[in-house]
Structure 1
Amino acid sequence: MLLFLDVDGPLIPFGATDRPYPVYEAAGVPPQAAADHPLLARIDPALGPRLAALGCELVWATTWMDDANSTVSPWLGLPPLPVVEWPDEDEPPALLHWKTRPLVAWAADRPFVWLDDEITEADRAWVAAHHPRPALLHRVEHRYGITDADLTAVTEWLRTNGRTTCR
């Protein structure tokens, strides 16, 4: 099973006004990496092992493209991941996120989880109508990034769908 992962919002939270963001350091990552990408320090490196423990095939589904592998993967302690290449295509139908159709195409006939901060009911409805396998489109609150509650929701969904992990 695939787990499509966005960076901005789910991993790098932004826009919260009720609290300051924690700042993290990642073991083995040169300080220059954080200097080159100042918001990188908002990513909790502990998320890497927690995402890997889900047992899914992690896939970058982000506009960071290959930069996610050179910058974010080392921060999270993850190996390089497959990257969804976004096609040049016409605008999606009204209300549908521009990533939705390419992710369903990339998944082909595989079940998937998609963690993003821009998922809507229109995306869920479109996937339900156009993808024959189970799919969880889980919206992450961009102000806080992936939380324990988000990971619990994914774990529960996996259990409900007959899996204890994505595999």
Structure 2
Amino acid sequence: MTRPLLFLDVDGPLNPYAARPERRPAGYTTIRVPLAYRRPLRVWLNPAHGPALLRLGYELVWATSWLAEANVWIAPVVGLPADLPYVDFGRGLFAERPDGVHWKTEAIVAYASGRPFAWVDDEQSPTDTLYVRARHPGPALLHHVDPRVGLREGDFAVLREFAAGVGT
């Protein structure tokens, strides 16, 4: 049986960027990612997230503007393999759509190609859910994660329940 896909965003679910800036959340570590022409980007990551995600039974795929760089900067810190596939958003990266669908949604549905999937992000909307329902024949879960707190045990419980429901 094919495992469901789990599309992972970085900023929001793994990096609670909207948390109080002067207070790193408990259990998180800080990395600084160098950026051209700007000061380094501060990223908070929880090393417990990778093992917890791997135990869920999904096939993990990055669905983030970090693209392949997620394997360089994020995966080693959170304990994920450094060779995870990623959705290549191509020209759609950050492109606003007139129908209000998030710029990631169409590419995620195409990547899934009918397979069951869950997508954790902090930017989905009801419009994205409608888009997925209309264009994706398999089970799909769009799970919103609060960017002030990142992934929590309740989020992992929802993901476990969804995976169990699609037969992993």
TM-score (norm 1): 0.84
| TM superposition outliers: structure 1 runs of 4+ over 6 Å | none
Letter of the aligned partner of 1:34 in structure 2?
I
**Are the equivalent residues in 1 in contact too, given 2:7–2:60 (CA < 8 A)?**
yes
Matched, 1:67 2:69: yes
Q: Which string of whole-angstrom CA distances, capped at 9 and with x for unpartnered residues, describes residues 61-92 of structure 1?
A: 10011110011111112112001111214743
Task: Give the aligned partner of residue 28 of structure 2.
Answer: 24
AA of the residue aligned to 1:75: V
Shift of 1:35: 3.9
The percent identity for this pair of structures is 45
The aligned residue for residue 156 of structure 1 is 161
Specify which structure has the higher proportion of strand: 2
Q: Residue 13 of structure 1 contacts residue 143 of structure 1 at CA under 8 Å; is this kept in 2?
A: yes
Letter in 2 for 1:88: R
Deviations 1:136-163 (A, max 9, x none): 000101111111111111112223x243
The question of 1:99 aligning with 2:99 is answered no
- The residue identity in structure 2 corresponding to 1:95 is G
TM-score, normalised with respect to structure 2: 0.83
Question: Aligned ranges for residues 9-158 of structure 1 at < 5 Å?
Answer: 9-17=12-20, 20-22=23-25, 24-25=28-29, 34-36=31-33, 39-40=42-43, 42-79=44-81, 80-89=83-92, 91-158=96-163
Please say if residues 136 and 157 of structure 1, whose CA atoms lie closer than 8 Å, have aligned partners that are also in contact. yes
By how many angstroms is 1:14 displaced?
A: 1.9
Mapped contact 1:45–1:76 kept (Cα < 8 A)? yes
How many residue pairs match? The answer is 155
CA change 1:60–1:94 in 2 (3 A) is same
Q: State the alpha-carbon separation in 2 of the partners of residues 54 and 20 from structure 1.
A: 29
SS in 2 for 1:34: strand
Aligned-CA RMSD value: 2.2
DSSP 3-state at the match of 1:143 = coil
**Which runs of 5 or more residues in structure 1 are unaligned?**
26-32
Amino acid at match of 2:147: H
